Amino acid sequence: MTETKKDFIDLTQFNKDELIFLIEDGINKKNISSKNGMASVDEDACAKDKILATIFEKPSTRTRFSFETAMYQLGGKTIYANMSDMQLGRGETIDDTAKVISRYVDIAMLRTNKHSTLENFAKNASIPVINGLTDKSHPCQVLADLITVKEKIGDIENKSYVWFGPANNMLTSWIHAAQIIGFELRICSPKDYSVDNNLVSGFPNITTDLDPNDAAKDCDCIITDTWFSMGEEDNDQKRKILEPYKVDAKKISMASSDAIFLHCLPAHRGEEVDADVIDGVNSVVWDEAENRVHAQKSIIRWCLS
């Protein structure tokens, strides 16, 4: 196993300067990339002659497409696999799978149910491994979100962010970012679906247990996500408890006048967010989705450097 391979598992592996480098690298290269076509190869194509494997245990639209587009723009190729089509379903271990795939490709991205599956794959692979979402975290998405904040508001650190909805993998990566960069993160979740205190204790810039009726006051960025993550059963009781946490026009009106609305998508209009918010003037969700490509390119460049 190579000692020097660079896995991208969680934002916590980076310090502030390193995380800011990844954000700025994404933006800088986005601004100089050629616009001839989505597969136009960048001048400094760092993935020329390289193959990225994208391996999914759960569905995906953005992560799959943005990783493939990112790899083409970096001069490389991709191989997609759904885990249910692989021999894993017939009992081959994740450890053996990682060793075998390391003989075919140069870098791998995995979306897994359990975070431990990703960690075991990374431990047994001799190639860089990227977290494309697990039950614990979604660092690629939050990197794209931070790129979007920087582009739209110009500053990340001295801004205030409010999370509305249940604690989940997205929130964990937002908490990691707040811990590294030091921005104000207000977490507005109902008690039944609140964040584990161990994750936030010792960080005065992160507050919890806020009243959904005034949590958004003067904030710069409102964030939400689906109330039911992939693999989670639909539950009417949970939906009822979360109703006051829906992002609606009233919450947006309390925020700073140029506040932005982020949602990693897929969204459920009328559930976690009203249609007039996600389709309204404060919403930057389409740029956010586009920035997945630029975030993935920054991550792949880092992994291969």
CA distances (Å), 161 to each of 79, 138, 150, 157, 158, in order? 37, 17, 13, 10, 10
What would the two tokens of residue 246 be? Answer: 């829906």
Q: Which of 220, 225, 263, 296 does the annotation list as catalytic?
A: 225
Q: Is residue 130 at the binding interface for ligand CP, with CB under 6 A as the rule?
A: no
* Size (the chain), residues: 305
Q: Is the distance from CB of 161 to CB of 142 less than 8 angstroms?
A: no
Give me the helix-helix angle, 169-181 and 139-153, nearest 10°: 60
Instruction: Order the strands of the 129-131 sheet from edge to edge.
Output: 77-82, 51-56, 107-111, 129-131
Which listed residue (264, 273, 277, 285) binds ligand CP by CB under 6 A? 264
Q: Which of 64, 111, 115, 176 does the annotation list as catalytic?
A: 111
Is residue 225 part of the annotated active site? The answer reads yes
Q: How far is the CB of 4 from ligand CP (least distance, A)?
A: 29
Q: How far is the CB of 264 from ligand NVA (least distance, A)?
A: 5
CA distances (Å), 87 to each of 97, 100, 102, 139, in order? 8, 12, 16, 28
Letter for the amino acid at 203?
F
Which listed residue (15, 34, 61, 213) binds ligand CP by CB under 6 A? 61
Is residue 103 part of the annotated active site? The answer reads no
Q: Is the distance from CB of 230 to CB of 154 less than 8 angstroms?
A: no
The DSSP string of 190-249 is -GGGPPPHHHHTT-TTEE-S--TTTTTTT-SEEEE--SS-TTPPP-HHHHHHHGGGSB-H
Pick 30 or 58: Cβ nearer ligand NVA: 58
**Contacts of 144 by beta carbon, 8 Å cutoff, 6+ apart:** 26, 288, 289, 291, 292, 294, 295
Is residue 268 part of the annotated active site? The answer reads no
Is residue 292 part of the annotated active site? The answer reads yes
What binding mask, one character per residue, do residues 123-142 give for ligand NVA by CB under 6 A, x or -? ----------x----x----
**Contacts of 253 by beta carbon, 8 Å cutoff, 6+ apart:** none
Q: Which stretch binds ligand CP (CB under 6 A): 56-64, 89-97, 115-123, 202-210?
A: 56-64
Pick 94 or 140: Cβ nearer ligand NVA: 140
Pick 215 or 277: Cβ nearer ligand CP: 277
**Contacts of 114 by beta carbon, 8 Å cutoff, 6+ apart:** 134, 135
Q: Is residue 229 at the binding interface for ligand NVA, with CB under 6 A as the rule?
A: yes
106 interacts with, out of ligand CP, ligand NVA, none, CB within 5 to 8 A per kind: none
Pick 264 or 303: Cβ nearer ligand CP: 264
Q: How far is the CB of 86 from ligand CP (least distance, A)?
A: 19
Q: Which stretch binds ligand NVA (CB under 6 A): 191-199, 225-233, 235-243, 248-256?
A: 225-233
Q: Which stretch binds ligand CP (CB under 6 A): 17-25, 59-67, 73-81, 176-184?
A: 59-67
Is residue 111 part of the annotated active site? The answer reads yes
Contact set with ligand CP (CB under 6 A): 60-63, 133, 141, 264-265
Contact set with ligand NVA (CB under 6 A): 133, 138, 168-170, 225-226, 229-230, 264
